[in-house]
Structure 1
């Protein structure tokens, strides 16, 4: 009987191709301090300042330093160079990063803003005050809708812009799905037994939402937000800090805390491990993906940002120049 050869899992480099020094990168599970924008610029919150690293040129620029406040979240608008910054005092600032100009400061929250998510001109903010605000950045009002649902800090927010659904995760172990600008959740999932920071919508399958639980939970759970049901779950063995779907393949990457501080690439739906990447000496609290979907950057309280070539290119796109060289050259964001 002829046996077809087993397909070998593709090789993923176990070494980051670039390491950046990031002094003062906070070791705080509830913050979201790293985001990679469509213009190929990485925004990073360090202490009271925001720095920008241009992935094309490797140049670092300081965007701003807050007066008597700290940066608790950063998020790029989907298309363009507007960057939203959440602060420790509960403010949301919007900056034109290209012109290095602050456009406006928005109020509403009375505690730190640890999560931000854009859906075109709607900017959504989540806070330790347990509230979620939808803001129309074109309108003069401070906010458009107030969402009351979580009983503790809101630590994860992700829009599914295709379907107009927002997923929110809280320190109350709840995952909620909100439809459009509705002030009542469409679904409330109570499956996790620890804080839900890690949230990601599949770009390949409608209504497929992945979420990850903290130290007391350790699971990645897959939800069907069309039916409001749980599809599958896997115990990862450690705190789940972030999740992101590959844009180019049916794979998912998760980053972890205690005890291995690892980064894992999984095949979906089998959830077989494609690769496990180690190197961070603190929990891997920050994760962002390059605009072309081939590279991820991870950040940790060890004050490093590490760049990994985790995913292939999208089928049908040509191979272009290497994204920054293969040597782990140490530069400083400052």
Structure 2
């Protein structure tokens, strides 16, 4: 038998002892659970600075550096527009969760040769536009409101209707539009209806050779039409059946102004009076309002049906409540006949009025506080006023001398 070399045994012993010394630190290292590593990575991503790089391993890649668009390798063709909305939502959600990103240039197939699908190191974000509404940079992204296109007001009518025998009289009200999109026009001794949806024209009534139409006014629902005549009568017509349902008297002269409330029809006449007619009662009128010194040419109920505004050829504007027989408010700032009257649907008690040729002004009143708010010179006779129900704007129609239609923004009164 051969004798063992002592030096060799020493080498083996030393190598074993050194390996034990090398392994002992790793064996003493505590085991880190997978959940702890995930939480550590999440916290690191949330608190990382722009210049700090986060490294991940093959099991838990860093999603913030991945190009998610490369996962859609073969998108199916869109059958409708629903996928577009889903794609936009996915883009916003991804940007909010993983930070802002900017679409990169790709080739025709949608791949980028310089990027991998998975990323194991976060990149330093550059100062680019963010798609996320929660982005921190100040540059505009998709969350900002789009630029509003300039508004275009047409300068020519889209429809022209023949109106023979239309009286050229400033003090008459011969045109009215219903809630059912039907236009009523008084032509001589007849009333015609034009349906804006079907363009159908219907002859509603013929008053005969001894009478003529001086005013027309639709009920709130647009089912019945009131017709004021030159003999001082007021007729109620069922528009769907083209049948007269009632004739009411009380005025001595022509009826040039009509205004419907909830259940009350007001009529203004050249005899300087206003008659309140409850169509549910058998009487021709329930009350008589006096105060004007000349023909009543403008009438309008407020939207809450509590106040009635009247304008006359005596250059006066009166406000009545639903129970009074005398005006509760009187305004005398106009210097011409007050025919154009309109209550604002946006502000309670806001009243607009327009004067004739010698006045040419649109004035605004607060009937709640009894104050004159403002006025503007339109340089032309004010024939009619109407508020928009959707926006705080006012349209005015004018006679001599400009003969124009103007849309105003309130309260700046700048032209649209």
Please, what TM-score do these two structures have when normalized by structure 2? 0.64
Q: 1:226, 1:163 → 2: CA distance?
A: 15
1:267 to 394, 404, 409: 409
Q: Is residue 12 of structure 2 the alignment partner of residue 12 of structure 1?
A: no
Distance in 1 (CA, whole Å) between partners of 2:286 and 2:150 is 47
Q: Matches of residues 102-141 of structure 1 in structure 2 within 5 Å?
A: 102-141=244-283
In structure 2, the residue matched to 1:293 is none
Q: Which one has more relative contact order, counting CA pairs under 8 Å at least 6 apart?
A: 1
Give the structure 2 partner of residue 64 of structure 1.
205
Q: Which of 347, 352, 366 in structure 2 is aligned with 1:210?
A: 352
**Which residue is equivalent to 1:180?**
322
Distance apart, 1:7 and its partner CA: 7.8
Could you tell me how far apart the structure 1 residues matched to 2:317 and 2:206 are?
Answer: 33
Per the normalisation by structure 1, the TM-score is 0.79
Q: 1:230 to 1:7 in 2, by over 3 A?
A: farther
Corresponding residue of 1:37: 178
CA distance in 1 between counterparts of 2:166 and 2:315 reads 25
The residue that corresponds to 2:17 in the other structure is none
Match of 1:255 among 397, 406, 415: 397
Deviation, 1:184, is 1.4
- Give the number of the structure whose residues are more often strand, by fraction: 1
For the residues of structure 2 that align with 1:116 and 1:251, how far apart are their CA atoms?
A: 24
How far 1:132 sits from its partner (Å)? 0.1
The equivalent of 2:241 in structure 1 is: 99
Distance 2:198 2:339 in 1: 32
Please list every run of 5 or more consecutive structure 1 residues that lacks an aligned counterpart in the other structure.
1-5, 275-334
1:170-210: CA deviation from partner (whole Å, max 9, x where unpaired): 00000000011310111000010000000000001000000
Q: What is the CA–CA distance in structure 2 between the aligned matches of 1:239 and 1:115, rounded to whole Å? A: 18
Offset at residue 259 of structure 1 (A): 1.3
Contact 2:262 2:305 in 1 (8 A): no
Q: Does the CA-based 8 Å contact 1:136-1:144 persist in structure 2? A: yes
Q: Gaps spanning 5+ residues in structure 2: where?
A: 1-146
Q: After the TM superposition, list the runs of 4 or more consecutive aligned residues in structure 1 that deviate by more than 2 angstroms.
A: 6-9
Map of 2:91 onto structure 1: none
User: 1:54 maps to which residue?
Assistant: 195
- Measure, in 2, the Cα distance between the counterparts of 1:260 and 1:161: 31
Structure with greater helix share of residues: 2
Larger Rg: 2
Paired position in structure 1 for 2:226: 84
Aligned residues: 270
CA drift at 1:80: 3.7
Measure the CA separation in 2 of the matches of 1:100 and 1:211: 34
